[in-house]
Amino acid sequence: MQKAQQAAARAVRSVLSGHNLDSALGLQLRTPDLTDQERSAIRAYSYGTLRHLGLLRYMLDKLVTRKPKDPGVIPLLLVALYQLEYGKAPHYAVVDHAVKSVNSLAGPALKPFANAVLRQYLRRREELLRSARRDDVARLSYPRWWIEKLRSQLGAQADHILELGNLHPPMTLRVNRRRIDPGKYLSMLEQQQIAAKAIGPSAILLQVPLAVERLPGFEEGLVSVQDAGAQQSAPLLDLQPGQSVVDACAAPGGKAGHALELADVRLTALDRDSERLARVSDNLRRLGLRARLQCADAAQLESWWDGSPVDRVLLDAPCSASGVVRRHPDVKWLRREDDVAGFARQQSRLLDALWRVVAGGGKLLYVTCSVFREENQDQVERFLSSHADALLVSRHASSGGDLLLPSEEHDGFFHALFEKS
């Protein structure tokens, strides 16, 4: 436990210093002498601490009057508090290992401090929790600006959406219908005693997440891991054989793969990050699908577009990721309120550029994994007001596109389909 505590604390400290959790965890998990159990614990402690950071910080602030000079002690205490509040290990073991970790990190002088803080938490837990319920940042574990923005935009639904964001995400599979019928794949899962249910035309929700190595036929391309909300994107394009399609921000390739599973189209997958583009290649290879891959900024048309009009464009735009915080809890603490406006400017740039490549009668699908209006409905209104040849094709009566709020079965997404007159 001690080794996992220390590695998780380093990952949390890295995130609080401005780095994303994937890169922070990557550094910690590359240590060669870790067991699988330790790697799993490091992930669990890191993700859990960041999911509930608002509450953990609140309690620690109540317990600590003067913070220690060593900056590594506070993240370690946050991880230990997460274990005590949400973990299953005996409290005495968590405290004992945390005190030893502080000793190895900062020396024996801070051992009594760490021991006193954690034992005081155990004595005062109920009092601290009652107090935390009166503080929105502590109760909901989001920055105050995020809470206020969602409440102003979603009203009574906001707190429920925020609470969902602190749960473990669902694991959903997309069945490759070119290779197997979803019903037959469900039977394969049942034979392996893997509990699951169908929740969409190609979507299967697992009752308990598991490693992809345990999924029957995964390496053979029978299924991919893709959220049920994300699986709604490719079908909206109404793809027909022979059409030209551009996936403008393709990595890691989930929507590109889905599009190619639906129809024999000529697909170009763009991404400006060569390493992420390699993941698109790997995913398509596993599925037995082919596309033209090009490393380019989709908004710089001269770097990739030959001038031929395109039948369909899929723009899965860079965004705040506010709809997928269950999967990326670091996002809550890395984003700043003015970042949302920055993403909106980037999205506008991409939309305006990519509209030029769409053929007459063609369609562009704008997608985000955000629940913030500035990146969604406001983008649609701006785009329609500046492009007279754009018609919004909506599945619902709303003129602002389709906002899919997070639920127990899927993440949050926004879709807006435009047709060119």
CA distances from 399 to 41, 369, 393, 403, 417 (A): 46, 19, 9, 11, 11
Number of residues assigned to the chain: 421
Phi first, then psi, for residue 205 (nearest 5°) are -95, 125
- Count CB-CB contacts under 10 A for residue 129: 15
Cα gap 329→260, rounded to integer Å: 31
Cα gap 379→275, rounded to integer Å: 29
Q: Which amino acid is at 127?
A: E
Q: Is 419 exposed, middle or buried (0-12, 13-18, 19+ CB in 10 A)?
A: middle
Phi first, then psi, for residue 123 (nearest 5°) are -75, -35
Cα gap 156→52, rounded to integer Å: 22
CA angle at 121 for the pair 120 and 123, rounded to the nearest 5°:
65
**Which of 170, 362, 365 shows the shortest CA–CA distance to 249?**
365
Q: Which conformational region is residue 321 in: left (phi greater than 0), alpha (psi within -120 to 50 degrees), or beta?
A: left
**Residue tagged active-site, from 249, 295, 319, 369:** 369
Active site residue 249: no
CA angle at 211 for the pair 181 and 198, rounded to the nearest 5°:
30
Element (H, E) at 167: none
**DSSP for 25-77, written as a single string:** HHHHHT-TT--HHHHHHHHHHHHHHHHTHHHHHHHHHHH-SS--SSTTHHHHH
Beta strand 292-295 with 310-316: parallel, antiparallel or unpaired?
unpaired
Catalytic residues: 369
